[in-house]
Structure 1
Amino acid sequence: MNVPRYPSAALRLDAGASPKRDDPRPGDARALVDLPTREAAQATGLKRSALRSRGLRIGVPLALIVLWQLASSLQLVTPETLPPPTVIVAALKELIADGELQSAIGVSLVRAATGLAIGGGIGLLAGLFAGLWRVGEEIVDAPLQMLRTIPFIALIPLFITWFGIGEGAKVAVILAATIFPMYLNTYAGVRGVDPKLLEAARVFGLSSRQVALRIILPTALPSILVGVRYASAVALLALVVAEQINAQNGIGYILVNANQNQRADIIIAGILVYAALGIVTDLVMRALEHLALPWRPRFELA
């Protein structure tokens, strides 16, 4: 008869004694420890990542401001060249107390929104026309690709000749700057639809109109929203240039007056206002993307 072999230490029993169990006892180093589940570990990792992201987003600008103030306090930079943050905050308070900054922001936002609405609308329609129809691509794509290579700043003298030095030239500059980001992203989104989806639509017998409304446009929507976000940022960049054309109001008017009076603190304050408008605009566009695309997954490398 074959007797199974076991390690001698595994089943060595004392006479008359019951087998030893592996139950943990007080003071036993082999006591069981509850390990975190995978979901709990992922939640902890996400919380740490969010805290780190917020800390970097807030800490880095604050560190730069502190270094800026220290450089001014130690007279490493003269106040005439770069005023310290405290002086710039005082200049902002001065503009707010006079009510000049509030009215200027409203005027500048109306200019940027008007140019963005017209230019973005033209770019959206042109992108859909060129993306959905081959004849549209043949008519629209080549001229717009040629015009895209021309900097919108170079068109300012032409706009002044056409529209004068009033609001028309300023809106035209913003319009010309926002057409192409909207057109390129819309065209790429429409042409980037998965061919398998179009083939499935033909199998189910959908008409061309149904394919465009139910498949192409929803699939191209993320790219279109990226175009809106990019065009809104470009609109603010063009606004800075447009408001140098004989501005009688707006943030650009404040900067021109500050330049004539050699007020570097107000100039930097106006530049920071432009930057703040850009950040707020980007946050608004991000919120619109999340609302319009709740189904899009969020992925990031650890």
Structure 2
Amino acid sequence: MTTVATRPPATAEKAPGKASRTARRRRWRRLTTPVALFALWEISSRTGVLPEEKLSPPSQVLRTGWRLAADGTLATHLLDSLTRAGAGLLIGVSLALILGSVAGLLRIGDDLVDPTVQMARMLPHLALVPLLIIWVGIGESLKITLVSLGVFFPMYFNIYAGIRDIDERLVEAARTCGLNALARIRHVILPGALPSLFLGLRLATGAAWLSLVVGETVATQSGIGFLMMEAREFSQTDVVLVGLFIYALLGLLSDQILRIAERRALTWRRGLRAT
């Protein structure tokens, strides 16, 4: 008796290639609006609709950015900004993790910590600059403190909400199975709170860059914010726009890194996808 080899369906062979083509089309489609806006901006500047002294064209901004990068000016200021943002982010996230966990896990922590944080969050932290100058001076401490304050609140509330939103029946089931407190935190509470934790990190990172912009405009001699303020004094619109684009790229890059880490850490989660 002879057997006839069967081939897999053609659709199965083409499925990976089709998925790859779809992904490429999506990437190009996401670039459509930004490219169109930049083209419109360039044309408007070159035709005089937008005065160059008010808004430099993208081509000039690109040349200015290349010049600042080539002579090392951009790298020096960027390193100082990254150092401040990193230090403030580390401090703010650490405090939020500790206090958010205490308030979320312990009743006494909720009673002692959460009301104070709820009151403090009503104060816009950027409006505290005059008071912070009196407390910590106008040096690096001011910039790092501003970033830490901007980071703390979105991180704290997402951690607190992530812990409190965990189904209590899961915790009770883990207790019934004999898991101690540390084991329940590791196997039930931490996985359940991870989505909120990553959301808090993304919001906190955005707040860090916003706070840094303000901090670097107060009595500083380095940083992207200082570069922009110095350019403003000489009406160098192209340099100001370079600084704005760098902040935007830093925010986008940090958000993309966190999104990738979130997808890898939460492979078990299946949410709604756009169609």
Is the shorter-chain TM-score for this pair beyond 0.5, marking a shared fold? yes
Q: Deviations over 1:154-201 (max 9, x none)?
A: 111111111111001111111111111110110111111122211211
Q: Distance in 1 between matches of 2:104 and 2:15?
A: 42
Q: Distance in 1 between matches of 2:62 and 2:111?
A: 54
Q: Distance in 2 between matches of 1:62 and 1:301?
A: 23
2:84 is aligned with 1:111: yes
2:223 is aligned with 1:229: no
Counterpart of 2:226, as a letter, is Y
Q: Select which of 154, 167, 174 maps to 1:181.
A: 154
Q: Deviations over 1:217-248 (max 9, x none)?
A: 12111211221121111101111111011111
Counterpart of 2:96, as a letter, is G
TM-score (norm 2): 0.91
**Residue matched to 1:62:** 35
How far off is 1:42 after superposition? 7.5
SS at match of 1:246: coil
SS at match of 2:273: coil
Q: Distance in 2 between matches of 1:162 and 1:192?
A: 37
Counterpart of 2:264, as a letter, is L
**Residue matched to 2:110:** 137
**Compared CA separation, residues 203 and 195, structure 1 to 2 (3 A):** same
Counterpart of 2:28, as a letter, is G
Q: Select which of 75, 79, 97 maps to 1:124.
A: 97
Q: Distance in 1 between matches of 2:71 and 2:245?
A: 18
**Compared CA separation, residues 266 and 54, structure 1 to 2 (3 A):** same
Q: Distance in 2 between matches of 1:90 and 1:73?
A: 15
2:250 is aligned with 1:277: yes
- Show structure 1 runs of 5+ residues with no match: 1-34
2:161 is aligned with 1:161: no
2:47 is aligned with 1:74: yes
Q: Select which of 58, 61, 64 maps to 1:85.
A: 58
2:241 is aligned with 1:268: yes
Counterpart of 1:229, as a letter, is R
Q: Distance in 2 between matches of 1:276 and 1:205?
A: 48
- Show structure 2 runs of 5+ residues with no match: 1-8
**Residue matched to 1:293:** 266
Deviates more, 1:51-60 or 1:83-92: 51-60
Q: Which has the larger radius of gyration?
A: 1
Q: Distance in 2 between matches of 1:285 and 1:198?
A: 28
Q: Distance in 2 between matches of 1:65 and 1:42?
A: 35
Q: Select which of 171, 184, 201 maps to 1:198.
A: 171
Q: Distance in 1 between matches of 2:74 and 2:65?
A: 8
Q: Which is bigger in relative contact order (C-alpha 8 A, separation at least 6)?
A: 2
Q: Distance in 2 between matches of 1:245 and 1:145?
A: 28
Q: Select which of 240, 248, 260 maps to 2:213.
A: 240
**How many equivalent pairs are there?**
268
Q: Distance in 2 between matches of 1:144 and 1:49?
A: 46
Deviates more, 1:208-217 or 1:99-108: 208-217
Superposed, 1:5-44 pairs within 5 Å as: none
2:78 is aligned with 1:96: no
TM-score (norm 1): 0.83
SS at match of 1:79: coil
Deviates more, 1:141-150 or 1:196-205: 196-205
**Residue matched to 2:120:** 147
How far off is 1:44 after superposition? 7.8
Q: Select which of 171, 175, 184 maps to 1:211.
A: 184
